[in-house]
Structure 1
Amino acid sequence: MKIQWLFTSVVCLIFSCQTKDNQSENSSNELPSYELEVLDSVTVHDILTRVFLFQTADEDGIIFRDGASSDVYLFDRDGNPTGKWDKTGDVPGAFSMTGGNFAQDKAGNLVILDIMNGLKVFKKDGEIVQNFGIYQNQWSLGGPFSHFKTYQVIEKGGKEYLLYSLDIIEEAPGDYDPEFLQTRRNLILSDLETEETKTFLPFPEGSQFLNGNVFFFADFRPVFSYDEKSQLLYLMFQNEPILYTYDWSGESPVLKEKTALNLEGFAAGEGFEKGAVSFAQIFDYKIIPYPSQILNLEKYGDDLLISYKPTPANKDDIARVIAKEASKELRAELSKEAKMRTVVLTQDGDIIPLALPEMNPYNFSVIGEDIWWMKKYVGEEEQEDFTLYRSRLVKK
């Protein structure tokens, strides 16, 4: 199985989907502004890991993991260590750096999806609750370490499921052509008790991914958020600035609304002719060095938080990068322009930029009403102490 590691974040589509008239990328006196208000923080000390990632928190404590291994660290809410365990090697429940972030089920168990080792459910002390196999072997994977969630534990009909996606969720087709995208199902639902799994949700009518071309898999990797209270599923594809809202009160999601979003600097691609992109190719930064990407979508109160990376505006500068003629200074300038942005999409359809504090590059995590993030480290020596903040979004 071929694994391609891509650790970077990826031009302009004018789409026919109707944009709400009151969408705006610019703050005005008529629109509210938002900021993160810190509620409290905790610092954990003497940590020796390669990639220290916040995972989840509840009233009992805080959980971290080394993203480059299977080491799990437990602390109380004051930052005192309460336990540590790992699932390395040939042991039941083993997972690796290909695992995502822990989610929690209603009982507080830890759920992790590892595309190499399968779906696992643990008690907080590391005891195995469920140890499911791999749904589908993956040909490739891509993406940086992040606090952003890539799957979600949801409850429907009194049962708990893991809602997720994989870059490759089907057997390799004989040919990677536009017909492949016509029939592809983009989400997966696994019963956390029985492991019964199904794929569902094709591309909606009018999606750019049905335009007769083929695309990199990173372009149509979905980001989503399911709201159990309203039974609405919010979904976007990473290189398409359209929010799809589904009514999931029944057995299957039904498309309710399609909203084109005017995200400043976002440039969607038109795809490639058949044969130009190979099956399972995540991306090619040599030909598109600064692709626009929707990175995260979170329901937060009545609003949505959308994090994305824009594409630099100057096409000539991008061409210099592709031709390997760009100076170090120009590349740095373009990387700054392509830095992640976060906006609030209000229930009225307004798009309001959110100025975030300097964070650890792994970004933030939303748990209920709280937004958790790690302070950016500016020291010269290797970091051993990590500060975690609990915040809430407030309207000014």
Structure 2
Amino acid sequence: MKISYIIPFFAILIFSCQTKDHQSETNSSGLPSYRMETVDSVTVKDILARIFMFQTADENHVVFRDRATSDVYVFDRDGNPVDKWDKTGDIPGAFSIASGNLTLDKAGNLVVLDVMNGLKVFKKNGDIVQNFGIYQNQWSLGGAFSLFKSYQVIEKEEKEYLLYSLDIIEEATGDYGPEYLQARNNLILTDLETEETKTFLPFPEGSQFLNGNVFLFNDFKPVFTYDEKSQLLYLMFQNEPILYTYDWSGEEPILKDQTKLDLTGFVAGEGFEKGAVSFGKISDNKINPYPSSVLNLEKYGENIIITYKPTPSDKGDLALAASGEVSKELKAKLYEESKKRTVILTQKGDIVPLSLPEMILYDFSVLGEDIWWMKKYTGDEEQEDYTVYKSRLVKE
């Protein structure tokens, strides 16, 4: 079976910090280089699924899902089937294709957040542990299927929480304007035992999203990762090339550092005047075609892995794309120029490009020291056997 892109449309303490000098993305001599080295793989066979994707793994099991349905597949580490179940339709614990990827809590239960149906926790056999509702109904939803994480199970003070964001967290009071962004909290934390939920973390002082304009929601949706060992929260907003680092050793995260990153081809937007963008609009190709976007942020050892999409450099090409007057050849050119790129931000502040193997969606999942990914399928016949690879970054 060929795997295709499908886009479903179902729809942050303010502190002043100096921004560090621009970091450069370069292959210059003297900088380290990295490669991915495969250390293990798991092959599963005889699968009949429309969009079969890796979800998560622990020392005993590997979990997959058909992202076009709610079918969940559990295998042992040798690829032998252990369980298969689904939560489709009007049943307890139901979740839809609008949900994110399954992740694990410390007990080995599967956690999934569905913007349509809420937060769910299951045992690996499908039994319901928690069946929470959604925190806030969403105005508009969108995004392609991805192996990148959109939420994270974290532990603080011996309690487990889900750390996440939603496109819309609260409704605007009156017209959508800069006042909304000045007051907005960007992250959500839900207690996985009690469902107690709070929003927190406004835009830091100096963020472009406090410049008095309004923005499309994909521009300021956060990507983040929390490192439990150091108790640091790393966060970027999708259209702002600044890495914010928060000390989260206390009850609330405190901004510790902000670093402006010189990502090749990345163009940050200035926003739009009030009234030019409607509330809840995710993106708009007519006014902002091929926007730069930070897609994923992962702490890996002492470094940070960042995946982003650049903006094509030719403004004339972008104007044609905005008008809809784009040829097949130009569309292919723009697609190539805006392909995802992955870089490593080293502990010393260098930005080093990372070449990745051909992957499904060019995406991967970081679990501890391991990077899990699946090969891009290029065969003509329907695919029934799938292999997920476990790799690690090696410094050359």
1:168-187 alignment to 2 at 5 Å?
Answer: 168-187=168-187
Aligned to 1:149: 149
Does the 8 A contact of 2:246 with 2:253 survive in 1? yes
CA distance in 1, matches of 2:167, 2:98: 13
Aligned to 1:87: 87
Shift of 1:67: 1.1
Aligned to 2:254: 254
SS in structure 2 of the partner of residue 321 of structure 1? helix
The one-letter code sitting in structure 1 at the alignment partner of 2:321 is: V
1:1-396 alignment to 2 at 5 Å?
Answer: 18-20=19-21, 23-361=23-361, 363-396=363-396
Q: Residue deviations 1:264-291, cap 9 Å, x none?
A: 0000110000011011100011222211
Q: Residue deviations 1:141-171, cap 9 Å, x none?
A: 1111001000000000110000000011113
Shift of 1:17: 6.4
Shift of 1:326: 2.5
CA distance in 2, matches of 1:317, 1:139: 32
SS in structure 2 of the partner of residue 130 of structure 1? strand
Shift of 1:382: 2.5
CA distance in 2, matches of 1:24, 1:284: 30
Does the 8 A contact of 1:20 with 1:349 survive in 2? no
CA distance in 1, matches of 2:20, 2:97: 40
CA distance in 1, matches of 2:191, 2:143: 26
Aligned residues: 384
Does the 8 A contact of 1:17 with 1:260 survive in 2? no
CA distance in 2, matches of 1:209, 1:324: 28
Does the 8 A contact of 2:309 with 2:338 survive in 1? yes
The one-letter code sitting in structure 1 at the alignment partner of 2:371 is: I
CA distance in 2, matches of 1:108, 1:160: 12
Shift of 1:59: 1.0
Q: Which consecutive residues of structure 2, in runs of 5 or more, have no partner in the other structure?
A: 1-5, 10-16
Q: Residue deviations 1:318-373, cap 9 Å, x none?
A: 11222233321111011011000000000110000000011111610000000000
Aligned to 2:13: none
SS in structure 1 of the partner of residue 255 of structure 2? strand
Does the 8 A contact of 1:85 with 1:125 survive in 2? yes
CA distance in 1, matches of 2:372, 2:338: 23
SS in structure 2 of the partner of residue 63 of structure 1? strand
Q: Percent identity?
A: 72
Shift of 1:66: 1.1
Shift of 1:7: 6.1
Does the 8 A contact of 2:154 with 2:162 survive in 1? yes
Q: In the superposition, relative to structure 1, how do residues 360 and 318 fare at CA in structure 2: closer, same or farther (>3 Å)?
A: same
Shift of 1:52: 1.2
Does the 8 A contact of 1:145 with 1:362 survive in 2? no
Does the 8 A contact of 1:19 with 1:262 survive in 2? no
TM-score norm. by structure 1 comes to 0.94
Shift of 1:28: 2.1
Let me know the Cα RMSD of the aligned residues: 1.5
Shift of 1:172: 4.0
CA distance in 2, matches of 1:44, 1:73: 10
SS in structure 2 of the partner of residue 339 of structure 1? coil
CA distance in 2, matches of 1:384, 1:32: 39
Q: Residue deviations 1:82-109, cap 9 Å, x none?
A: 1100111111111111111111111011
CA distance in 1, matches of 2:24, 2:353: 9
CA distance in 2, matches of 1:217, 1:235: 16
Q: In the superposition, relative to structure 1, how do residues 17 and 267 fare at CA in structure 2: closer, same or farther (>3 Å)?
A: farther
CA distance in 1, matches of 2:171, 2:377: 43
The one-letter code sitting in structure 2 at the alignment partner of 1:135 is: Y
CA distance in 1, matches of 2:328, 2:87: 42
Q: Residue deviations 1:53-72, cap 9 Å, x none?
A: 11101111100011111100
The one-letter code sitting in structure 2 at the alignment partner of 1:295 is: L
Does the 8 A contact of 2:172 with 2:180 survive in 1? no
Does the 8 A contact of 2:266 with 2:310 survive in 1? yes
Q: Residue deviations 1:19-51, cap 9 Å, x none?
A: 436x32111221110000011212212222122
CA distance in 1, matches of 2:8, 2:329: 21
SS in structure 2 of the partner of residue 74 of structure 1? strand
Of residues 89-98 and 39-48 in structure 1, the stretch that sits farther from structure 2 once superposed is: 39-48
SS in structure 2 of the partner of residue 126 of structure 1? coil
Does the 8 A contact of 2:24 with 2:261 survive in 1? no
Shift of 1:384: 1.9
Shift of 1:383: 2.1
Does the 8 A contact of 2:340 with 2:362 survive in 1? no
The one-letter code sitting in structure 2 at the alignment partner of 1:78 is: D
Of residues 302-311 and 24-33 in structure 1, the stretch that sits farther from structure 2 once superposed is: 24-33
